[in-house]
Chain A
Amino acid sequence: MHNKTIAELAKGLADGEFSSVELTQHFLGRIDALDSQYNSFITVTPEQALAQAEAADATRAAGNAKALTGVPVAHKDIFCTNGVLTTCASKMLSNFVAPYDATVVDKFNSAGMVSLGKTNMDEFAMGSSNENSFYGAVKNPWDTNAVPGGSSGGSAAAVAARLAPGATGTDTGGSIRQPAAFCGITGLKPTYGRVSRWGMIAYASSLDQGGPMARTAEDCALLLNEMAGFDPKDSTSLKKAVPDYTADLNQPLSGLRIGLPKEYFGKELSAEMSDAIMASVKEFEKLGATVQEVSLPNTMLAIPSYYIIAPAEASSNLSRFDGVRYGYRCENPENLEDLYKRSRGEGFGKEVQRRILVGTYALSEGYYDAYYRKAQRIRRLIQQDFLNAFNEVDLIMGPTTPTPAFDLGSNTDDPVQMYMEDIYTLAVNLAGLPGISVPAGLVNGRPVGLQILAGHFKESQLLNAAHQLQTATNWHQLAPSAGQ
């Protein structure tokens, strides 16, 4: 049952092959039996899940089932869940029970879906390895010595290990796509403004975007159908009709123009990585697409630009965690300043503190123009690069990451090396574009991802290309031994 895709599970439920309660019990059983190896969940909510499953079965019996009624999923622990612990993998929120659901959670609940629990992540979504969690690192189901990627590492590992058929993630600089690549699954970062950020704990507000993680492009389309849409509670969400993302999955690709940015195939990319990516690109050519080189000249500026803008916004977004109203408070504060210093010093992990300091510095009087304003100018250049490229081609393709998953602990002493992991993914957030990572085979026994990018609001086109690749190949069906 756990090897079925969401599409297959939805069909099985509709056909009465199994009930949502049976399905939910099955996945809860797997989490219980296997997750001690991966640490992909922070909180599992069996009682709530079974209650939702029973309700879903009743809805189906009454003839009111919707597309995904009864399908279980997991939520990244950055999405607020009413009455359920929402930690953002931080000691700071280790006691925080949200009094409301994030819009994404609310939409899934309204769709009749079942929530299995809350997945592990890098603290406040800051990290590329899921090693920055107050609840411990997540391990890659393909190799427990490897990281699962981050920050949505728990969601990626849970889906890869078949502990959940799909999960929510968030992507600020690659946090859906990079762990999807490392764990051999499919992960979609929608256009900025497509999915509501209400109730999604903010890291960098102008870059954060929630999206689906699953094993196939078709499953991502099904999940995105339930997630996307304008939300009056989020001023940055867009008033734009939501198409049926499954409608165009089978459009032929003949005549599709694919661009390969030369900057994404530089010397930092190993021959094995390059070969794996080119093997996927060849499949598209077989499907009738044409391939040409394009240039995104400001690619290398994405990292410094991102690492000014994201920490700057984070330094302000995380100011509310002050030990005054909720969350962690230090013992016996002597005075207000002591309360602030120790609550925040003890409640935040190292990487979070590092980014708060960087961001605070970048916004300081006298440095604002040199850092923040300049970073915003670079951001516009990067956006322009993409717009120029999309004048020539329909889709841009390249590797999601420079390397397959690295070993746990190997990058933790060198934040800059860690930041380099996101070189291909960051620019997409700066430009607000949609991007998807799809499995593209193994390098050194570990999965790698092909990243496909499209113009704003062209998620259907991305999903179409990804689905056609997955129809023609079976990389997405490769599973870690744990998933068998």
Chain B
Amino acid sequence: MEWEAVIGLEIHVQLATQSKIFSGAGIAFGAEPNTQACAIDLGLPGILPVLNESAVEMAVKFGLGVEAEIGMKSVFERKNYFYPDLPKGYQTTQNDLPIVGKGVIEVEPEEGKIRQVRIHHAHLEEDAGKSLHETYTDENGRGMTGIDLNRAGTPLLEIVSEPDIRSAKEAIAYIKAIHSIVTYLGISDGNMAEGSMRCDANVSVRPKGQEEYGTRAEIKNINSFKFIEKAINHEIERQIELIEDGGRVIQETRLYDSEKNETRSMRSKEEANDYRYFPCPDLLPVELDEAYIEHIRSEMPELPKQKKQRFIDELGLSSYDAGVLSATRPMAEYFEQVKDRCGDAKLAANWVMGELAGQLNKDNLEIEQSPVSAVQLGDLVKRVMDDTINGKAAKQVFAALWAGEGASADEIIEAKGLKQVTDTGAIAAIVDEVMANNPQQVEQYQAAPEDKRGKMVGFFVGQVMKASKGTANPQMVNQLLKEKLG
């Protein structure tokens, strides 16, 4: 039987506010345990929350970015459960009336295949603290649990998709699209390694063609692109095998173990907590008006979808190139800077997606970490365009810039003597020399039929370029060779 996976994702995005969602404590990553937790975050008696308005603004930005309905009245509720890293015994979150309603995101899991993933809603909430199970022992060496409340109260935007995703690959494309939007908007640093984006996946399978959904399992705690794909694929396989062996999937929460590449049961629906949601009486409903929404709308940056379209329409890039170059904000910024510097979008695109992307990939670097700046690359491309250097020399210059051997393309061209030779006389002299040194090849060439000669001329071009240390203008070399070889 052919199976189809049905996947819905819940993505927790940590918002890039200065302080926590209900307190003035900072939210920097990696601080000493409990140094960024004030009385409010500790849940001391008598404390009260005050909503951080910039978290609201960021949520609204996201909503506008995915063309969603904005909740003009949203309500914080309490989700009640006991856990040592949940200081108040409840999480303040939104349930019935979230700040962001239905929206949609376009994703392109493979070239030319565009899919719409609907957003069910997105809501604001506070993060819990962290339980540290490994590091602590008591005086008798027994394991103890430490609690770090630095993260408690960190603002999160939980983005809940409809079950519109059909494969792990689509899931990755969706997450990357979300990542791209939140980083474009500047509402999150999107740093998955530091937990700024965390993902829970609801996965079920059904026979292809069946309308009805299968029973779903929720996989928690997946926090890198790599693991998301593996965890989802593993879970799809587990469910298919289970059903094909005559079993049935039970509704439960499963935890992904990245070391063993497996999911295991955490709790079933029957054991699930009854969270006893009710409106938080310490916080007033958040009521927004049109003027506020319009003000935020007027400050929205260009988003990936719009940017891609502009790259196609105005710069004449292909849909694929436009998609790659607009995928992340740093990539788009880099590309646009190169393009502005050199003035040729297609050449700029080729360099960014070719030489630069290749080197970044090889050295495992992000574009923000590139040793060659966009200005340096733009100037280099400019020298190719004005025939100062040829393509081959340009690659040498790029390598030198990458290695830090000079501050600019011009400096390296000068130092290495890579300036292209365009003097006909000088090139003709080299051509003559090469022909004189290779009489046998000249004879063979001249004896060969017309249709074989094209290939054979390559040998002479190579020799001339070598003799000119790569500085001869290749077009002129070709032309002179053809003339002189007859």
Binding site for B on A (CB under 8 A): 79-80, 86, 88, 93, 96, 98-100, 102, 197-202, 204-206, 232-236, 312-313, 315-316, 318-322, 324-326, 336, 340, 360, 363-365, 368, 372
User: Which of B48, B82, B87, B274 has the most chain A CB within a 10 Å cutoff?
Assistant: B48
Query: Do the beta carbons of B50 and A340 come within 8 Å of each other?
Result: no
Asked if A234 meets B46 with Cβ closer than 8 Å, knowing A100-B39, A316-B89, the reply is no
Residues of B within 8 Å of A79, CB to CB, are 46
Residues of A within 8 Å of B43, CB to CB, are 320, 325
Whose C-beta in chain A lies nearest to the C-beta of B24? A233
Q: How far is the CA of A204 from the CA of B82 in the complex (A)?
A: 19
Query: Do the beta carbons of B48 and A368 come within 8 Å of each other?
Result: no
Asked if A325 meets B46 with Cβ closer than 8 Å, knowing A316-B278, A340-B82, the reply is no
Asked if A236 meets B90 with Cβ closer than 8 Å, knowing A198-B46, A316-B80, the reply is no
Partner of B274, one of A197, A316, A365: A365
Instruction: Contacts A236-B283, A324-B84 known; list 4 others, CB within 8 Å.
Output: A235-B283, A235-B284, A320-B87, A365-B274
Asked if A325 meets B87 with Cβ closer than 8 Å, knowing A200-B46, A320-B43, the reply is yes
Partner of A98, one of B45, B90, B277: B45
- In the complex, whether B78 has a CB less than 8 A from a CB of chain A is yes
Q: How far is the CA of A130 from the CA of B140 in the complex (A)?
A: 45
Query: Do the beta carbons of A322 and B44 come within 8 Å of each other?
Result: no
Partner of B276, one of A93, A232, A233, A364: A364
Q: How far is the CA of A472 from the CA of B441 in the complex (A)?
A: 130
Residues of B within 8 Å of A325, CB to CB, are 42-43, 87, 147
- In the complex, whether B382 has a CB less than 8 A from a CB of chain A is no
Whose C-beta in chain A lies nearest to the C-beta of B149? A325
Interface residues of B in 78-93 (CB under 8 A from A): 78, 80, 82, 84, 87-90
Query: Do the beta carbons of A319 and B282 come within 8 Å of each other?
Result: no
Binding site for A on B (CB under 8 A): 39, 42-51, 78, 80, 82, 84, 87-90, 147, 274, 276-278, 281-284
Asked if A316 meets B44 with Cβ closer than 8 Å, knowing A232-B50, A235-B49, the reply is no
Query: Do the beta carbons of A322 and B82 come within 8 Å of each other?
Result: yes
Whose C-beta in chain B lies nearest to the C-beta of A360? B276
Q: How far is the CB of B254 from chain A (nearest CB, A)?
A: 22
Query: Do the beta carbons of B278 and A201 come within 8 Å of each other?
Result: no
Query: Do the beta carbons of B46 and A80 come within 8 Å of each other?
Result: yes
Residues of B within 8 Å of A86, CB to CB, are 45-46
Q: How far is the CA of A364 from the CA of B282 in the complex (A)?
A: 20
Partner of B44, one of A98, A197, A233, A236: A98
Asked if A235 meets B276 with Cβ closer than 8 Å, knowing A313-B281, A316-B89, A336-B84, the reply is no
Query: Do the beta carbons of B276 and A201 come within 8 Å of each other?
Result: no
Q: How far is the CA of A99 from the CA of B39 in the complex (A)?
A: 8
Query: Do the beta carbons of A199 and B46 come within 8 Å of each other?
Result: yes
Whose C-beta in chain B lies nearest to the C-beta of A326? B44
Residues of A within 8 Å of B51, CB to CB, are 235
Q: How far is the CB of B129 from chain A (nearest CB, A)?
A: 10
Whose C-beta in chain B lies nearest to the C-beta of A99? B39
Query: Do the beta carbons of A324 and B46 come within 8 Å of each other?
Result: no
Closest 5 CB pairs of A and B: A319-B89, A205-B281, A363-B276, A206-B281, A199-B46
Query: Do the beta carbons of A234 and B48 come within 8 Å of each other?
Result: yes
Query: Do the beta carbons of A80 and B278 come within 8 Å of each other?
Result: no
Sampled A-B contacts (10; CB under 8 Å): A235-B50, A312-B278, A315-B276, A320-B44, A324-B84, A325-B43, A325-B87, A363-B278, A364-B274, A368-B278
Q: How far is the CA of A362 from the CA of B51 in the complex (A)?
A: 27
Query: Do the beta carbons of B48 and A324 come within 8 Å of each other?
Result: no
Residues of A within 8 Å of B82, CB to CB, are 319, 322, 340
Q: How far is the CA of A322 from the CA of B82 in the complex (A)?
A: 8
Residues of B within 8 Å of A372, CB to CB, are 278
Residues of A within 8 Å of B84, CB to CB, are 322, 324, 336
Residues of A within 8 Å of B88, CB to CB, are 319-320
Q: How far is the CA of A372 from the CA of B278 in the complex (A)?
A: 9
Partner of A236, one of B42, B47, B284: B284
Q: How far is the CB of A217 from chain B (nearest CB, A)?
A: 28
Q: How far is the CA of A98 from the CA of B47 in the complex (A)?
A: 11
Asked if A316 meets B45 with Cβ closer than 8 Å, knowing A235-B284, A336-B84, the reply is no
Q: How far is the CA of A360 from the CA of B43 in the complex (A)?
A: 20
Query: Do the beta carbons of A320 and B45 come within 8 Å of each other?
Result: yes
Query: Do the beta carbons of A319 and B44 come within 8 Å of each other?
Result: no
Residues of B within 8 Å of A80, CB to CB, are 45-46
Residues of B within 8 Å of A326, CB to CB, are 44
Residues of A within 8 Å of B281, CB to CB, are 204-206, 236, 313
Q: How far is the CA of A224 from the CA of B191 in the complex (A)?
A: 51
User: Which of A312, A318, A325 has the most chain B CB within a 10 Å cutoff?
Assistant: A325
Asked if A88 meets B45 with Cβ closer than 8 Å, knowing A316-B278, A319-B80, A363-B276, the reply is yes
User: Which of B147, B281, B283 has the most chain A CB within a 10 Å cutoff?
Assistant: B281
Residues of A within 8 Å of B47, CB to CB, are 198-199
Query: Do the beta carbons of A316 and B276 come within 8 Å of each other?
Result: yes
Asked if A102 meets B39 with Cβ closer than 8 Å, knowing A235-B51, A235-B282, A316-B276, the reply is no
Residues of A within 8 Å of B45, CB to CB, are 80, 86, 88, 93, 96, 98, 201-202, 320-321
Q: How far is the CA of A364 from the CA of B278 in the complex (A)?
A: 10
Residues of B within 8 Å of A235, CB to CB, are 48-51, 282-284
Query: Do the beta carbons of A202 and B276 come within 8 Å of each other?
Result: no
Query: Do the beta carbons of B46 and A316 come within 8 Å of each other?
Result: no
Q: How far is the CA of A360 from the CA of B46 in the complex (A)?
A: 21
Whose C-beta in chain B lies nearest to the C-beta of A196? B48
Residues of B within 8 Å of A336, CB to CB, are 84
Q: How far is the CA of A202 from the CA of B44 in the complex (A)?
A: 11
Residues of B within 8 Å of A320, CB to CB, are 43-45, 87-89
Query: Do the beta carbons of A201 and B50 come within 8 Å of each other?
Result: no
User: Which of A234, A235, A363 has the most chain B CB within a 10 Å cutoff?
Assistant: A235
Q: How far is the CB of A320 from chain B (nearest CB, A)?
A: 4
Q: How far is the CA of A319 from the CA of B80 in the complex (A)?
A: 8
Whose C-beta in chain B lies nearest to the C-beta of A323? B84
Q: How far is the CA of A96 from the CA of B45 in the complex (A)?
A: 9
Residues of A within 8 Å of B49, CB to CB, are 235
Residues of A within 8 Å of B48, CB to CB, are 197-198, 233-236
Q: How far is the CB of A308 from chain B (nearest CB, A)?
A: 11
Whose C-beta in chain B lies nearest to the C-beta of A318? B89
Q: How far is the CA of A202 from the CA of B43 in the complex (A)?
A: 12
Query: Do the beta carbons of B276 and A98 come within 8 Å of each other?
Result: no
Q: How far is the CA of A372 from the CA of B279 in the complex (A)?
A: 11
Whose C-beta in chain A lies nearest to the C-beta of B40? A233
Q: How far is the CA of A313 from the CA of B90 in the complex (A)?
A: 12
Whose C-beta in chain A lies nearest to the C-beta of B272? A365
Q: How far is the CA of A205 from the CA of B47 in the complex (A)?
A: 11
Whose C-beta in chain A lies nearest to the C-beta of B275? A365
Q: How far is the CB of B152 from chain A (nearest CB, A)?
A: 11
Query: Do the beta carbons of B50 and A324 come within 8 Å of each other?
Result: no
Q: How far is the CA of A144 from the CA of B100 in the complex (A)?
A: 59
User: Which of A99, A319, A365, A372 has the most chain B CB within a 10 Å cutoff?
Assistant: A319
Residues of A within 8 Å of B274, CB to CB, are 364-365
Residues of A within 8 Å of B278, CB to CB, are 312-313, 316, 363, 368, 372
Whose C-beta in chain A lies nearest to the C-beta of B273? A365
Whose C-beta in chain A lies nearest to the C-beta of B284? A235
Q: How far is the CA of A197 from the CA of B274 in the complex (A)?
A: 29
Whose C-beta in chain B lies nearest to the C-beta of A92? B45
Q: How far is the CB of A146 from chain B (nearest CB, A)?
A: 31
Q: How far is the CB of A340 from chain B (nearest CB, A)?
A: 6
Residues of B within 8 Å of A98, CB to CB, are 44-46
Q: How far is the CB of A348 from chain B (nearest CB, A)?
A: 13
Query: Do the beta carbons of A319 and B90 come within 8 Å of each other?
Result: yes
Q: How far is the CA of A93 from the CA of B51 in the complex (A)?
A: 28
Q: How far is the CB of B398 from chain A (nearest CB, A)?
A: 56
Q: How far is the CB of A83 from chain B (nearest CB, A)?
A: 14
Q: How far is the CA of A99 from the CA of B42 in the complex (A)?
A: 12
Q: How far is the CA of A286 from the CA of B88 in the complex (A)?
A: 54
User: Which of B46, B49, B89 has the most chain A CB within a 10 Å cutoff?
Assistant: B46
Q: How far is the CB of B91 from chain A (nearest CB, A)?
A: 11
Query: Do the beta carbons of B282 and A316 come within 8 Å of each other?
Result: no
